[in-house]
Structure 1
């Protein structure tokens, strides 16, 4: 799918893999990591909106989009090394790191272990509190089945799953086509790793956690986790599901803007 003309694209070689990235804007850098089944082009609307004030770099995680899809390297340590390598290869000084779902988990552990970003934004992190209550073998088979089912449907059929009211049909087509560029190897992402909340003890930079809407009990559990952050704020986005920037774009992007302007 084509990018708007204000965007450029390229690749970096890092951690034994070619990573595709997308870039727009100027100013302090923001690096954005997508979730499972997506790619870096998911962030075109948000990146374009931020481009007047920030340099925005998104990328395709290994096994996704136009990046390499090796047999190995889907563990958390490799995902962190990929992101750190991208930042280093592009000579980005103290970027803000933003991630959604799988990408949010990657960002959190990057901030905790290997890199000290200027700030961190976590949009509904995967495995926030604990691993899913299924075996890793079952989780991998569910991933493979989801990919098979998605790729068996036409793009037009997949488009019907999306609401184009906010960002238009060009972007809906990007979202609908994303699974076509996913390797079956992404099923290997179903691996045991420490819950994201455990990274919070080691994250020292300002951190914003954007969570889906939730009932009182779940909000309390989320707030307890966020209390482990030294300089953090947790916001539940009303009416949002897992895709907070897609479900409630205005509310989520407003919270992001406030955080970035601190």
Structure 2
């Protein structure tokens, strides 16, 4: 199992194919297998690299408070370890936000951004400020298996196969790691830095994804020349709900970068 150690953490990664690299970063509570539909197709033409964010999948999580700045540091460390000078980053949800922050903090390392169902703040409006506080409190009280089942139920309405995948992803986390990482995730903030992104950017949003829909117009308007596309018949786990359309958009984006 390919693992590298950096910043006091063991991080899992996996490489398929060859050619221009694309780094895929999963959403919170998920792990690298989220990207199987894209890896299976895109590895024919590109080098696809997936990894598990600290505290997820096969990656460890050090004790103590989680610093969200470590997420982008870990990603850059992966690029250094693999000797990749500049690449395209593709992320969904939290993985998209990690990709955003990497492009902001390390612009010379990011050739392009593909953002799927991506938030850039947890304080966008009164609704988010309210629900963020509620979630931190309620998730501590709920049994972890209930949190997993509720999440799986919500994001498997379009693709029932997502249910087993989400339950599998949660099974690789402890409740303590989940809560500590979720607290760090909620402290990620990029609203005032979006205009610093200079690389070509494509934004994809599932038409039925009501989790981050309210942020997508602002995200598109505040990243220079960002492209926006709606993915039909897709909820928040957009890349698995409609894998064909998402993969086609990624392929077209990569061709436009050449």
TM-score of the superposition, structure 1-length normalised? Answer: 0.80
Is 1:178 matched up with 2:169?
yes
Question: Match for 2:203 among 209, 212, 217?
Answer: 209
Unmatched 5+ residue regions in structure 1?
1-8, 165-170
Matches within 5 A, 1:73-92: 74-92=66-84
In the TM superposition, residue 214 of structure 1 has moved relative to its aligned partner by: 6.5
Unmatched 5+ residue regions in structure 2?
none
Is 1:25 matched up with 2:22?
no
Question: Match for 1:139 among 135, 138, 150?
Answer: 135
Q: Which protein has greater RCO, CA pairs closer than 8 Å, 6+ apart? A: 2
Matches within 5 A, 1:223-242: 223-242=217-236
The one-character-per-residue Cα deviations of 1:195-229 (angstroms, maximum 9, x if unpaired) are 444332111111111112269xx979733431222
Partner of 1:190: 183
Would the alpha carbon gap of residues 81 and 93 (structure 1) be closer, same or farther in structure 2, given more than 3 Å must change? Answer: same
Partner of 2:42: 50
Partner of 2:117: 124
Would the alpha carbon gap of residues 74 and 186 (structure 1) be closer, same or farther in structure 2, given more than 3 Å must change? Answer: farther
How many residues in Structure 1 have an aligned counterpart in Structure 2? Answer: 243
Would the alpha carbon gap of residues 78 and 254 (structure 1) be closer, same or farther in structure 2, given more than 3 Å must change? Answer: same
Partner of 1:34: 26
How far, CA to CA, are the matches of 1:247 and 1:196 in structure 2? 27
The one-character-per-residue Cα deviations of 1:97-124 (angstroms, maximum 9, x if unpaired) are 1111011111101101124311111111
How far, CA to CA, are the matches of 1:135 and 1:238 in structure 2? 27
* More helix as a share of residues: 2
In the TM superposition, residue 179 of structure 1 has moved relative to its aligned partner by: 0.5
Question: Match for 2:106 among 98, 111, 114?
Answer: 114
Question: Which is further off, 22-31 or 107-116?
Answer: 107-116
How far, CA to CA, are the matches of 1:261 and 1:198 in structure 2? 30
The one-character-per-residue Cα deviations of 1:37-62 (angstroms, maximum 9, x if unpaired) are 11011112211110011111111111
The one-character-per-residue Cα deviations of 1:155-189 (angstroms, maximum 9, x if unpaired) are 9x9xx97534xxxxxx8754431110013223222
Question: Match for 1:15 among 7, 11, 36?
Answer: 7
Give the secondary-structure state (helix, strand or coil) at the position aligned to 1:261. helix
